[in-house]
Amino acid sequence: MRGAFLLVGLMMVAGCRQGAASGPSSKPQGFAGQTLPLLASPALRLTVAGRLGTRAVPVVLDVARPLSLVSKGCFEGEPPAPEGTVRAPEPAGGFRSWPVVPLPAFSVGPVVSPMRTAGLSGERACAVTLGADVLEPLALTVDPLRREVTFTASRPREAYAAEARGSEAAREVYVVELNREPLGDWPLLAVRVRQGGADLTGPFVLGSREPFSRLAVGPAEAQGLQPLETAANLPARTFAVDAVEVAEGVGASPLVVEAAGRWDSPSSLGRLGPDVWGRFTATLDAKGGALVLRRPRVGPLTPAPAPVSGGVAASATAPAPGGASAPAPSGAPAPGEASASSSASAASPSVERQRCAHPDGTFSEEACYGLHVRREPDGSVSVSGAVHRDLPEGGRLHLEALGADGLRLETGCGVGLSFPATSRGLTTQHRLPWTSLAQALPACHAALSAAASFKLALFEEGRQPECPTACAFVTETASRRTLCECQPTPLGEGVALPSRTSPSREPPPEERELEPEDPR
C-alpha cells in the first residue's frame, strides 16, 4: 500500500449553523450576518435553498449579473403578466432585454427577501438568480469544505488588507484587487493563464453562477494557447491549461476551462469561476473591490513517516461544538486512538510530502486533510473532503462509516474520496450513499444508508483507478467491484484531464454555459 497515511478521529459533526428562529414573525429581513448551507453538489456551486410562494426553489448567487431573475419554470402555467421591460448588459458582451414580472412571497433560507419583481428568463428548470441589485452591498464568504456561504456587510479593500497583515501565521491570505466594469459594473480581476510556453494575462469577470472558468477563444489563440481538438468542423469547447492564477502560485493547476467562442466583451477575456477561487476560503466583495483568498500554510517537504509498530497515530482535528473543526492539542490522543492495534502508516520513507499548518501554527501532515459531514434536509448524509497540499499523483481519503452510537459499522464495503493529480485546495462533496448505487451495488447502498456519519481513516497516494476526477467511491469487498460518483468537468461528468493532443468531446447540455435564456 504505497504512500498511505493513517488518520484517526478527523471528523466534523453534521449540522448547519442556525440563523434566527423560524416563524413568519421572527424571520430576519436582511442577509448580513446569515450563514446558509449550499445545496449539496460534487462541484462547488453557489446555490442555496429558497421558497417562492409555496414552492421550494434553488437560489443562485450571481455577483456578475446586474439584474435578479426568475425562470419560467418556477410558475405553474403561464407566468404573471410583465410590468415592464429592462435592457441589461451581459458579461460576455452585448445586451439582453428581460420582461419584469411580479413575484409571490420570496425567502432565501430564513431571510425574507425584499424582492418584489425580477426579470423573467426562458429557462425551463425552476431557479431564482440573485444578482448585483440584491447582492451589491454584501460580501459573500464561501467555505468550500463546509459548503456554506456567509453574508456580511461590504468593507473597503484596505480593511481586508489590514486584516491580512495581522492574520495568524497558520494561514496564507491574499487580497486580490477587484475593479468594476465601466458599463455593466460587474467585478473584474487580473488573471494569468499558462499553457506550455504560451501565456495570456488580462481582466476576467469574477463569476459565481457556474462552476467552471471560461476563456475567450480569439484572444487565447492569438497568444498561442491551443484548444483541445473536437470532431471535424465543431467549434472549440475546452482548453487544457497548465495553470490559472490570480498571483504567482495562487490558483489551480492543471485545469480544463470552457472555451467561449462568443465572448464579445471588449473589457474582459473570460470568467474566473469556483474551480479556481473555490480552492480557497474566499470572500467576494464586489463593492469593496476585494477578492480575499485564504488557505492553510504549507511547510517544507519532509519524508513521509515509515510504518510504526503498534500503529499509534495522531489526530489533526477534534469535534467541536456546533459541528466546527477545532485543532487537537499537540500530542493529545485523538478519539479512538488509544487502541494499539490501529493500522499504521504504510508510507515509504523515500516519499516526501508537504505538511500543513494547524491553527496554532504547528505543522503536520494530518492538517492537510479535511472532512465535513452533515445531514441534508431529506435525511441523507453528505460528506465533503479537502486536500490542502499538492497531489502530484492524486490521492485517496478512505472513510469509516459510523452508526448512531458513534461506533464503526461493519458494512462489507470500502468507501472514500478520490482526487486526481492537482494543486492544493481541491474539494468535493457527495451524498453517501448516492442514489444510483442502489441499482449497481444494492448491498453497499443498504449498508451505507444505515450510517449516521463518517470519519477519515487513511490517506493513500494515487487516485482510485476507476475514478478519473474528484469522486466518491464505494468498493464491495466480496466482489471487488468499485463504483464512483464524480465531479463534472467542462468535458462531461467525470471525464479526466486530457493531454492537449487528446481529442475532446462536446460537453453535455446540462454542463455547458447555463446563462439564463433571453425570452425574446
Q: Looking at 169-173, 215-219, 273-277, 333-337, which range is the least confident one?
A: 333-337
3-state secondary structure of 315: coil
Mean pLDDT of 248-257: 96
Give the pLDDT confidence score for residue 77 in this predicted structure: 86
Mean pLDDT of 407-412: 96
Cα–Cα distances in angstroms (integers) from residue 427 to residues 133, 442, 456, in the given order: 30, 27, 15
Q: Return d(Cα 272, Cα 210) in angstroms, integer.
A: 10
Q: Return d(Cα 312, Cα 7) in angstroms, integer.
A: 10
Beta strand pairing call for 69-71 and 117-121 = parallel
CA 66 vs. chain centroid, Å, equals: 23
Burial 226-237 (b: 16+ CB within 10 A, else e): bbbbbeeeeebb
pLDDT tens across 154-192, in order?
Answer: 999 999 999 998 877 789 999 999 999 999 999 999 999
Mean pLDDT of 411-417: 97
CB of 368 within 8 A of CB of 392? no
3-state secondary structure of 396: strand
pLDDT value at 202 more than 60: yes
Q: Return d(Cα 176, Cα 159) in angstroms, integer.
A: 13
Give the pLDDT confidence score for residue 497 in this predicted structure: 62
pLDDT tens across 304-338, in order?
Answer: 554 333 222 323 333 333 333 333 333 333 333 32
Q: Which residues contact 75 (CB under 8 A, 6 or more apart)?
A: none
pLDDT value at 139 more than 90: yes
CB of 31 within 8 A of CB of 108? yes
- The 3-class SS string of 375-394 reads ECCCCCEEEEEEECCCECCC
More confident residue, 346 or 210: 210
Q: For residue 205, what is the enclosing H or E element? A: strand 198-206
C-alpha grid cell for residue 30? Answer: 436582511
Give the pLDDT confidence score for residue 376 in this predicted structure: 96
pLDDT tens across 335-376, in order?
Answer: 333 222 223 233 444 467 889 999 888 999 999 999 999 999
State residue 359 phi and psi, 5-degree precision: -55, -25
